[in-house]
Structure 1
Amino acid sequence: MSSPGRAAVAAGALLSLGGAALAAANVVTVRVARPDAPDVPPGRRVSVLLPVRDEAAVVGRCLRALLAQEGVADLEILVLDDGSTDGTGDLARAVAVDDPRVRVLTGEPPPPGRLGKPHACARLAAEATGDVLVFVDADVLLHSRAVAAALAVMAESGLKLLSLMPRQVTDSPGERLVQPLLAWSWLSTLPVRPAEHSLRPSTAAAIGQFLVVERATYDAFGGHDAVRDRVVDDIELARAAKRAGHRAGMVVGSDVASCRMYAGWTELRAGHTKWLWAAFGAGGRVVPAAAVCGVLLLLGPVPAVAALRGSRLGLAGYAAGAAGRALVARRVGSRVWPDVLAHPASTAAAAFLLADSVRARRRGTLTWKGRPLP
């Protein structure tokens, strides 16, 4: 093996070992939302906010789960039908029937300079009357005590904006290959508990599938108006909260929530193409995106290929990558074996999706649910 090749294998092995060590520390210390959490204290009004656009396949079960929440005495549920063409709004109204806790609103197209989801969420927040706002995606299924569990973690931790990582449901090979990287990238790159106490925006982590924020904090940093043109509005919300001096963090929510984010490779590719350029591609610039792709290859394929060629260092790197994946998978409730053995293929797929996303961004061909993206 050439000197550059040995250096690449060594770098990949060191990165993998470091990521596995951090994952080991995080899975022990990360906060976990528990279904046996106490009831929400009296006097706390909770607004659950559900933006929906063409979600006929899942809106019914999502709303039924929201209506079944326990331990929340003062609850309102606001649904905003954001221009659906598949009857989503009618299905939501049929599930809600005459329940006084639910209102189904009709959305309007976002004005210039605003993206659809931040605009819908801002409208929901403007209509909400609670002192706690709970944003939930339609493809998320909540345990009956999920909201109570989230508020219990907030009270215990002192966090003012809390994001909960649902268990990621993966039913196809493509989903099993890529979706576990959501939790892995979080728990193997960020010191989670120290990040809770830092107000540096670079320490922000969030997933918008299940996000809870104090109303006073939301108003203080400008809410979704502050991220009106951001594709990854969840991470940007956490960054905005930290800039305003409010603590934000992410916890494991796999015991109280689940989500099948994408169904199959075609949908997964379209979904990741939409946002990866913004989260990891430095605004779609080629050089930073190429650097991230290079790191992903070092974390998976490079050590694995070296191991197949007899490199002990490559084998150590591959083993560390698989071990880190296994630790995270156990903590967040996803499949462990044999999926973690395909870690090199997973990181290679992530690099491909990032490159695909940057390419689409630079060509101006990005869309989501029928709307163009910047």
Structure 2
Amino acid sequence: MSAWRQLGRAYQTAALGFLIYKLGTLSVNALAFPVLRPRPPLPAAPRVSILVPARDEALNLPHTLPRLLAQIGGIQNGGAQSAVEVLILDDASSDDTARIAADLCAGLAGARVLSGLPRPPGWHGKPWACMQLGRAAAGDVLIFTDADVCWEAGTLNALLHALEHSGADLLTVWPRQETRTPGERLLAPLVDDVLLSILPVPITALPFASMSAGNGQLMAFRRASYHKVGGHALVRGEVLEDVSFAARLKARGGRVALALGGDLMSVRMYRHYAGPGGAVEGFAKSLHAVHGGSRSVMAASWLWHFGVYTLPWLPVFGGRVRPLLMLLGLLERLLVNLKTGRTRRADLLEVLLTPFTPLAALPVYLLAWQPAYRWKGREYTRAKERA
């Protein structure tokens, strides 16, 4: 047998094993991964602070903030309205974020717009904005949520029930992805795929920091637990501040719970593929850290995913395993959509984009290769390359 044939068989075996593992993990998570459901109010609802760091969010706030403000009257405590406040921090926006937020909050008790202070040395933008919000908040439960996340009626009750039921110090939630443009449909669902096909959710209950996950789009903390670890100062210089916070909280004895947003929470992350604030720039800012700060790992990652999801569809690829690899790749994407509730016709047709996803992700990898990156008008230098 030639060396090339041996290499081809080894590749096919590895790719098949990889897809089988991911499908097995997806099967576990399809049954075990919690999803937010409508719940009645808690008998004794806590004081709640909903905290929104906002930088250049004039496009999103008119759609998301009114629904968020509606949560102020959304929970009851013994027949009387429980204390809920919504704080929006304008983080030196260059657009009308502050004015729009102030107009929407006008006359509503419990809603305030804060002006962010200059960012100190060593801090990334979002952790600093969140730190200021955490200091200003009065609630017993601190819920940090991104300005592009859309809450539905009953979301707050569901969050408080999930936090109480889990007994966790941190509940982190992945909103349902809203995708409309081709660029969004190619890349945004990868967030769910990584979450649901890599780590079986029962493992995250183990007391190991490495078995953690976090999503900065929604992180609900018990106040005492948040301040005990120093708040967002714990991750002041981190790109992946959400993942790092969850891991470091767990390393200090805290408990972390995960959930999907289901019908109660959605997000439209990026409205276009390229350009400032687009999907390429958005995913590239984190990709270097996701791969442990190693360019060689990033390169190997892209080549591997191209080999698993794209190569089997090319005419040059042969072998009896080829149809099976093609089928399993599509099945993986389908199961992710079904678990996250993305079952509209257009969402299901996204499955057919699977072979093109590594190609669409190539510009993300190339941008992440650069030693510096830009996000929302700020320049950052990546952490030193690790071996």
Please report the TM-score for the alignment, with normalisation by the length of structure 1: 0.93
Counterpart residue number, 2:378: 371
Runs of 4+ in 1 over 6 A off after TM superposition: none
2:321 alignment partner, SS class = helix
Q: Which amino acid aligns with 1:164?
A: V
| 1:200-231 superposed Cα distances (whole Å, 9 cap, x missing partner) | 22211121112211111111222210101011
8 Å Cα contact 1:30-1:192 kept in structure 2? yes
CA distance in 2, matches of 1:46, 1:2: 62
2:49 alignment partner, SS class = strand
Question: Structure 2 vs 1, CA of residues 15 and 304 (structure 1 numbering), >3 Å: closer, same or farther?
Answer: farther
CA distance in 2, matches of 1:131, 1:4: 58
Indicate whether 1:209 and 2:252 are aligned. Answer: no
Counterpart residue number, 1:228: 236
CA distance in 2, matches of 1:345, 1:110: 39
1:230 alignment partner, SS class = coil
| 1:73-108 superposed Cα distances (whole Å, 9 cap, x missing partner) | 220111100111212111111111121211111002
CA distance in 1, matches of 2:194, 2:252: 26
Unaligned runs of 5+ in 1: none
Counterpart residue number, 1:342: 353
8 Å Cα contact 2:280-2:363 kept in structure 1? no
Counterpart residue number, 1:132: 141
CA distance in 2, matches of 1:125, 1:272: 26
State the Cα distance separating 1:178 from its structure 2 match: 1.0
Q: Residues 186-201 of structure 1 correspond to what in structure 2 (within 5 A)? A: 186-195=195-204, 197-201=205-209
Question: Structure 2 vs 1, CA of residues 327 and 227 (structure 1 numbering), >3 Å: closer, same or farther?
Answer: same
8 Å Cα contact 1:299-1:347 kept in structure 2? no
Q: What is the alpha-carbon root mean square deviation over aligned residues?
A: 1.7
Q: Residues 127-166 of structure 1 correspond to what in structure 2 (within 5 A)? A: 127-166=136-175
2:123 maps to which of 107, 111, 114: 114
Q: Which amino acid aligns with 1:344?
A: P
CA distance in 1, matches of 2:361, 2:166: 32
1:23 maps to which of 23, 26, 48: 26
CA distance in 2, matches of 1:167, 1:369: 23
2:63 alignment partner, SS class = helix
Q: Residues 50-199 of structure 1 correspond to what in structure 2 (within 5 A)? A: 50-69=52-71, 70-71=74-75, 73-195=82-204, 197-199=205-207
CA distance in 1, matches of 2:361, 2:256: 26
Please report the TM-score for the alignment, with normalisation by the length of structure 2: 0.90
Moved more, 290-299 or 2-11: 290-299
| 1:207-256 superposed Cα distances (whole Å, 9 cap, x missing partner) | 11122111111112222101010111111111111111111132111311
8 Å Cα contact 1:33-1:153 kept in structure 2? yes
Counterpart residue number, 1:277: 288
Question: Structure 2 vs 1, CA of residues 97 and 33 (structure 1 numbering), >3 Å: closer, same or farther?
Answer: same
- Using CA pairs under 8 Å that are at least 6 residues apart, name the structure with larger relative contact order, 1 or 2: 1
CA distance in 2, matches of 1:179, 1:60: 22
Aligned length: 365
State the Cα distance separating 1:28 from its structure 2 match: 1.1
8 Å Cα contact 2:281-2:367 kept in structure 1? no
Q: Which amino acid aligns with 1:371?
A: R
State the Cα distance separating 1:145 from its structure 2 match: 1.1
State the Cα distance separating 1:163 from its structure 2 match: 1.2
2:245 alignment partner, SS class = helix
Q: Which amino acid aligns with 1:71?
A: I
8 Å Cα contact 2:288-2:295 kept in structure 1? no
State the Cα distance separating 1:348 from its structure 2 match: 4.0
2:50 alignment partner, SS class = strand
8 Å Cα contact 2:36-2:260 kept in structure 1? yes
Counterpart residue number, 2:384: none
State the Cα distance separating 1:295 from its structure 2 match: 3.2
1:255 alignment partner, SS class = helix
8 Å Cα contact 1:180-1:334 kept in structure 2? no
1:7 alignment partner, SS class = helix
State the Cα distance separating 1:13 from its structure 2 match: 1.4
8 Å Cα contact 2:311-2:317 kept in structure 1? no
Question: Structure 2 vs 1, CA of residues 132 and 23 (structure 1 numbering), >3 Å: closer, same or farther?
Answer: same
